[in-house]
Amino acid sequence: FFYVRNHRELKFARTMIFTVEEINRDAILLPGVSLSYRVYNGCGSENLIRAAVEAISGENSKSCSDQVQALVGHSSSGVSGDMNLILSSLSVPQVSHLSTCACLSDRRLYPTFFRTVPSDRYQISGLAQLMKYFDWRWVGVIYSIGMYSEDGTADFVKEAKKEGICIEYSLPYSQISKNLFSVILDTLLESSSNVVLLFMSLSYAKSFLSEIETYKITGKQWIGTESWIMQSDLASADRKHILHGAMGFALPQASIPGLGEFLLGLKPSDEPQSALIKAFWEEFFDCSYSPSNTSTMCTGAEDLRTVSNDYTDVAYFREENNVYKAVYSVAYALHALLQCQNGSNPTTGKLCVNKNEVQPKLVSLNILKLFDLFALYDLVNWQMKEDGSAEISIIGQYDASFPKEERFILKEDVIIVWGGNSSEVPRSVCREPCPPGTRKAINKNKPVCCFDCFKCPEGTISNQTNSPDCLLCPPEFWPNENRDKCLPKPTEYLSYKEIMGALLTAFSCIGVFLALMISVIFLTHKETPIVRANNSELSFLLLFSLKLCFLCSLTFIGRPSEWSCMLRHTAFGITFVLCISCVLGKTLVVLMAFRATLPSSNVMKWFGPMQQRLTVLIFTLIQVMICILWLTINPPFPNINIDYYKEKIILECALGSAVGFWAVLGYIGLLAILCFILAFLARTLPDSFNEAKLITFSMLIFCAVWITFIPAYVSSPGKFTVAVEIFAILASSFGLLVCIFVPKCYIIIFRPEQNSKKHLMGKIPPRTI
């Protein structure tokens, strides 16, 4: 057995002796065979080489049976690796209780190396899972010089990368280099990561903490490895700001009956030739075996139960259990090797081997068959007290035998103390996660954890944290203000409830009311000359058509439906043609009337009331036929327009056939132009009340309105298209109503003396003042 001079290593050596004696007392495990041991000081290369050579050559052995068959140790991975390079030449098995470096699992380099402690690859995986669990994605690593720490750190960096954890810095520490410590100190003060992994062996951890404790490095969550995380003697009042809340994985607790009493029962008289035991004893009790004025004499009868240190801490066993299992693994290998049934070994099927024929190579082969380790760790948390002592609490476990996603288990209802005086889980990220409404973009010039967040473009959303892409909303939806949810687009159409719709409705109703009032006035004065002039029947028909024009504008307001879409354009087209036809008829009556005053003219005979009615009917029927064809071939229909506006839906009436729509408008325009030309020609005819002038002016307004309607209609978006069309209908209708009928109503009501045949014929002489 190999050990170095410290309390913990003495405890390991004494555990090995306890285990050997326990095995020797077992009459079943190795009947007729007694194990013996040698304990070597494993400090320094000379002792290592001497011990290794002695193990191979059998030097100082009294017989073949005294030859070293296996070595237990060393605690250091680097030392164990160097030893095995010597031991493996003759297949001498080496069983380590604490060498955890994953590199030692390479059977090509270390064929006879075995261990009862899990490989660091399990601890490294556990550390990565721990950081992933608490979402610590931005961490720093400080490691010591040597195989254990250097290889372990390199493996941790690889494992962390797999789990999406980034390493801000990875710095080496040496006990003899002040420059390396200065770099570490400056980095800790300037770094943005709040989690620091201290990947060091125990001796280096003690040295590092001794140096760093004088500096106020606060706000850090320290993570330790199994090599030092259970060493409560590292705690002190000066280190409280560092170790308070520290976490790490420790080897599991175990119970070994009788071992505690054996350790505490040690007396120098048990090993009278051992100078090391005496040296430890002097250190334990602050006494001396040599006469001295400064210290008391050691009696050898002192009680170890009265002192507190690593050696006397027997409340539970962790690493000691690995020593216990290491010795037993050699015993079980010998047990399997020495089995004999009917002249052959039941395990190997070969000839039986007696105890004098045992060779290290055979022992090595049998040890190999025993090992099938799965790692089990306790997750521990340092909870410092006011006096600087530490209570190390178990807060969880890591069991490598479980599926990967179930290996890390945190205990429920457990009190966890966090580093950096934090009352909650510390945050350690290079960049906070991209919230919903943004997308995550990797910056090629920075670690993967230092990504950028960009707001989703217009029309897209992301509803997850750290979303790599933004998703388009469906056509009927639009993102909310935060761009993390698609909401139904608001619908837009000209409604009675909004101000513009209400105003247009009011003007339409006013137009109907005025037309109705004029109709009443004309009806009550229907026998008067001004009403009877120019065909009163056409006047009443024109007033009726104007009422319909005002009313048809209401069909354009409200939510479009199949029937409203077909009705609005056809009703508008037919009523306006009826209106223009009446005006055209009245214009023709004026022209024909003055033609009839010429000698030998019988024009009025050919354009009497019947012909006037037929003219209006024929012109209107043509428009009816156009509308019927339009509705039959490709009628207007309600349409959801999602293209004009990105953020809202326009409910509109699609024309169906654009040809049909423009044919309706074109026919109205044709009649209006014809009417305007005829009225313009008749404007100079002699008459006191020449209606042609009024018709000319009304048609001028009508044509102006509809000429300006076309570009406004084409360029107006959404509900404004409908508003422009309603405005054109109302404006042209009011133009006809006011220009043709208001002057007549004025004479009827306010100038009744002018409402006479003589006045209309221009036979009343003008007044003289």
Q: Which CATH architecture has domain 499-597+606-761?
A: Up-down Bundle (1.20)
Residue 1 pLDDT > 80: no
How would you classify the pairing of strands 166-173 and 138-144?
parallel
The more confident residue out of 356 and 769 is 356
Query: How many whole angstroms from its chain centre is CA 396?
Result: 28
Do 221 and 189 contact (CB within 8 A), yes or no? Answer: no
In 547-685, the DSSP E strands lie at 637-641, 649-654
Do 675 and 655 contact (CB within 8 A), yes or no? Answer: no
* Phi-psi map region of 142: left, alpha, beta (phi>0 left; psi -120 to 50 alpha): beta
**Cα 542 from Cα 155, distance rounded (Å):** 96
**Cα 611 from Cα 604, distance rounded (Å):** 10
Sign of CA dihedral 106, 108, 110, 115: positive
- Give the residue extent of every domain in the chain: 438-488, 499-597+606-761
In the prediction, which pLDDT does 404 show? 85
When pLDDT is cut at 50, 70 and 90, the band that residue 681 belongs to is confident
When pLDDT is cut at 50, 70 and 90, the band that residue 323 belongs to is very high
In the prediction, which pLDDT does 123 show? 94
Instruction: Count CA atoms closer than 13 A to 583's CA, side-chain side.
Output: 37
Instruction: Give helix 536-552 / helix 609-633 axis angle, nearest 10°.
Output: 20
When pLDDT is cut at 50, 70 and 90, the band that residue 193 belongs to is very high
One DSSP character per residue, 232-267 reads: GGG--GGGHHHHTT-EEEEPPPB--TTHHHHHHT--
**163 to each of 167, 262, 349, 651, how far by Cα in Å?**
12, 45, 47, 51
In the prediction, which pLDDT does 151 show? 93
In the prediction, which pLDDT does 5 show? 65
When pLDDT is cut at 50, 70 and 90, the band that residue 525 belongs to is confident
User: What's the mean pLDDT when you consider all of the chain?
Assistant: 86
Residue where the block lists tokens 């949810």 = 485
Sign of CA dihedral 382, 383, 384, 390: negative
Q: What is the pLDDT of residues 465-519, one digit of tens each?
A: 999 999 999 988 999 999 999 999 998 888 888 899 999 999 999 999 999 999 9
Which amino acid is present at 160?
Answer: A
**83 to each of 2, 4, 6, 44, how far by Cα in Å?**
11, 15, 20, 12
In the prediction, which pLDDT does 766 show? 47
Do 12 and 76 contact (CB within 8 A), yes or no? Answer: no
When pLDDT is cut at 50, 70 and 90, the band that residue 767 belongs to is very low
Q: What is the DSSP letter of 400?
A: T
**735 to each of 709, 724, 728, how far by Cα in Å?**
15, 16, 10
**693 to each of 50, 200, 688, 741, how far by Cα in Å?**
134, 109, 11, 12
Tokens linked to 666:
């074109």
Which amino acid is present at 688?
Answer: S
In the prediction, which pLDDT does 686 show? 57
Q: Is 222 helix (H, G, I), strand (E, B) or coil?
A: strand
Mean pLDDT to the nearest integer, 168-192: 94
Which amino acid is present at 622?
Answer: I
In the prediction, which pLDDT does 602 show? 53
β-strand partners of 460: 472
Q: What is the DSSP letter of 489?
A: P
Residue 654 pLDDT > 70: yes
In the prediction, which pLDDT does 769 show? 38
Greatest mean pLDDT among 5-14, 33-42, 427-436 lies in 427-436
Residue 688 pLDDT > 50: no
**Cα 72 from Cα 581, distance rounded (Å):** 119
Q: What is the pLDDT of residues 208-238, one digit of tens each?
A: 999 999 998 999 999 999 999 999 889 998 8
**468 to each of 135, 160, 465, 480, how far by Cα in Å?**
19, 21, 9, 19
Q: Which of 745, 731, 738, 705 is nearest to 507 (CA)?
A: 731
In the prediction, which pLDDT does 768 show? 42
* Phi-psi map region of 421: left, alpha, beta (phi>0 left; psi -120 to 50 alpha): left
CA end-to-end span of the chain:
148
Express as a percent the part of the chain with pLDDT over 70: 89
